[in-house]
Structure 1
Amino acid sequence: MKITYPHMGPLNIALKTMFSGIGVDIIEPPPITNRTLSLGVKYSPEFACLPLKINLGNFIETLEKGADTIIMLGGVGPCRFGYYGEVQREILKDLGFDFKMIIVEPPHGRLADFFKELSEEFPGIGWQPALKSLIFAIQKIFAADKLEKQLLNYRAHENETGLVTKIYDEYTKLLDESQNKKELDEVLHEGILKMKHNANRINDIQIKVAVVGEIYLLLEAFSNMNICKALNELGVEVTKTEYLSDYLKNSAFKLPQKLEFKKNAKGYLERDIGGHGLNTVANTVKYAKKGYDGIIQVFPFTCTPEIVAQGIIAKIGRDMNIPVMSLSYDENTGQAGYQTRLEAFVDLLARKKMKKI
């Protein structure tokens, strides 16, 4: 068995750690490029959303490299994500690829059932090494997310353009290569200190923006045209409202965060509308109350939950006097036009803040 999986934030680091730890051969998905997107667009249904197309392109690339097994997450509810695996399997079969697709349903608090379902796909592997590998993989996800959260603050104040990103990339690689929890903690601590040491620039007007929206677009920089980096380079401190560690906690355990979302969204959205639509509305309210200067929503073109949320957060913006901008993405989205919109939005936020001073 040579297993592969999709890109989604630090998911590659975690799954590589987990499968390598139990002796399963892996074929890492190559970095997402324009070729990846072109392949996905060529063979996907026209109105499929961007994440499906990127994932499909990545699967084609890894099958070409020798992978024979794909692991994909399933799902339930109004969002089309739950059907991605089935659609991708049929497309890849039609293209003549010989492989096995393992679609794993998210646990939703049923960890015992989840582990039982997953273990059936890997017979002969002891539960002790499997549990040890899983725990270390999860620890790497949390470490990678902590490092990125600091990046999105410090990069807005870096002494030299590109320096903090370079440090972040170096220490992300070291996190990936860490062999134990002690080494992981040391790498994380050192990486944060190095970024902090190289980020002493004081901005004349400090702007803070929360980026809300669909989780894949938030986690995968290629899909959102690296919006957080673009904002940081304009001197904006960025808070991403969804991380893989959050998704993991909310899928694996029945935590009170869902109640918090409903509480924050009360008066604007009273029910779950699928995907991360409720999260988007709730986080817009949350960060508006925290005094952030602006909210940016990112989502795939045709994503129904986010389209519903788009109209609601526009009203929140008016009610709470906070500028809101919604950006949808597909394969035809142009970098130059989006950069211009970001610059104009940041200029609006700066002028609005100046009036308060």
Structure 2
Amino acid sequence: MKITFPHMGSLSIALKCLFEHLGAEVIVPPPITKKTLNIGVQNSPELACLPLKINMGNYIEAIEQGAEAIVMLGGVGPCRFGYYGQVQKEILKDLGYDVKMVVVDPPDRDFVGFLRDLAPLFPKASVKNVIHGLNLAFRKIVASDKLEKQLLISRAHERKRGEITHIYERYIQKLDRADTVRDIKRVTKEGLRELKAAEENKGVKPLKIVIVGEIYFLLEPYPSQDIYRALNELGVEVIKTEYLSEYLLSSIFTWRFNRIKKYARPYLKRHIGGHGVNSIGNTIKYARQCDGIIHIFPFTCTPEIVAQGILQRISKDLNVPIMSLSYDENTGTAGYQTRLEAFIDLLQKKRDAKEALVNEGLSWN
């Protein structure tokens, strides 16, 4: 059976590795493009959020390349993400696609049950293959996260625009092809070294901006118009608050999520669905480590809209500039680029004013 799945950052590398080691043929959807989005928009409810529409485009493009089964995470709580799988299943059925949709619950507290839901797709997989596949897949996720963390620092210092992005993409491709733990470690080490070596102006202290928001937007660059690259090319180092490895570990080990809840508790004492609590908690956690914070999320995302209102209060209380950006399929690039440039100008003026006061021996509040 030929299996596919939606793009979400480095998830495709990990799932391809895992499913192939379990004996399946994998159809990775084509990279997300305007065509992908258009297909999704044409075949999704008008008021559905952007991730659902992009996922639909992923599925249809993969099905047209021969995919026979789709693996999709389910969910619980006030976020509409929990309905994605069922809605998409009905849409594909109405479009006449004969494809099996497998919706598995997140591995929260029940990792064995998570694997059991996937088992029917891999009837010939042995326990040894499962363990080996999971080990390699997770190591690839961790490795890709390390490379991306370095990318978001190094690219703010690159000598030639596009050079460091090219290095990063080359090593992600090598990571995709790696088939042993030793290869993964070697690729990661070489990639980090080459990314750092391509930097210039290492003595310059650039602005640092933290990105919080909805998990799909944090992991997948396309829906936010690759805000990370846009900020890096404006000379800003970026701190991304959620990576795929951390997201998966928080799903398995709830104590990790409880740490973020503790940060959020002064402002939010209950779960509001999606990644709303994480947006609040991470904002408080990183507020003293940056010059400003940008909150990104899909238009109509209720948990993040709730978080947006709370973030305005946090911005005032902690004296940290916060800008919220929502996106849908009609979002234009030029307007958002202008907003990013204006926000950076604001942060630079604030930093200059703070440094001037410090030089005069005055305190900054």
Counterpart secondary structure, 1:337: helix
CA displacement, residues 288-336 of structure 1 (integer Å, 9 cap, x when unaligned): 133x100000000000000000010111001111110000000000001
Aligned counterpart in structure 2 of residue 355 of structure 1, from 342, 348, 353: 353
Question: Whole-Å Cα distance in 2 between the matches of residues 235 and 129 of structure 1?
Answer: 45
What is the CA deviation profile of residues 224-250 of structure 1, one whole-angstrom value per residue up to 9, with x for unaligned ones?
Answer: 101000000111110011111111101
Choose the corresponding residue for 1:335, options 324, 333, 336: 333
1-structure distance, mates of 2:170, 2:243: 20
| Corresponding letter in the other structure for 1:98 | D
> Contact conserved, 2:39 with 2:56, CA < 8 A, in 1?
yes
Partner of 2:322: 324
Distance in 2, Cα, partners of 1:160 & 1:65: 37
* Residue identity in the other structure for 1:93: K
| Aligned length, in residue pairs | 355
Which is worse superposed, 332-341 or 114-123?
Answer: 114-123
**How far apart in 2 are the matches of 1:354 and 1:298?**
26
The superposition leaves residues 91-112 of structure 1 with CA deviations (integer Å, 9 ceiling, x where unpaired) of 0110010110011111212122
| Contact 2:143 2:184 (8 Å CA) reproduced | yes
Q: Distance in 2 between matches of 1:258 and 1:96?
A: 40
Residues 1:260 and 2:255 are matched in the alignment:
no
Q: Deviations over 1:145-199 (max 9, x none)?
A: 1110010011111122111111101101001110101111111011111110111
For structure 2, the residue ranges without an aligned partner over 5 or more in a row are 356-365
State the Cα distance separating 1:205 from its structure 2 match.
5.2
Matched with 2:125 is 125
The runs of at least 4 consecutive aligned structure 1 residues that moved more than 6 Å come to none
**Within-5 A mapping of 1:226-265:** 226-254=226-254, 256-265=255-264
2:276 aligns with 277
Conserved in 2, the CA contact under 8 Å of 1:203 and 1:235?
no
Q: Deviations over 1:41-62 (max 9, x none)?
A: 1111111000000000110111
CA distance in 2, matches of 1:112, 1:60: 30
Mapping of residues 105-120 of structure 1, within 5 Å: 105-120=105-120
Q: Which amino acid aligns with 2:223?
A: S
Q: Distance in 1 between matches of 2:84 and 2:107?
A: 17
Distance in 2 (alpha carbons) for counterparts of 1:92 and 1:111: 28
Question: How well do the aligned residues superpose, as a CA RMSD in angstroms?
Answer: 1.1
- The answer to whether the Cα contact below 8 Å between 2:78 and 2:272 also exists between their aligned partners in 1 is yes
What is residue 286 of structure 1 aligned with on the other side?
285
Counterparts of 2:237 and 2:67 in 1: how far apart (Å)? Answer: 40
Q: CA deviation at 1:202?
A: 4.3
- Partners of 1:315 and 1:203 lie apart in 2 by 35
Cα 1:189–1:204, aligned 2, differ >3 Å: closer, same or farther?
A: closer
Match of 1:157?
Answer: 157
The SS at the match of 2:88 is: helix
In structure 2, what is the equivalent of residue 213 of structure 1? Answer: 213
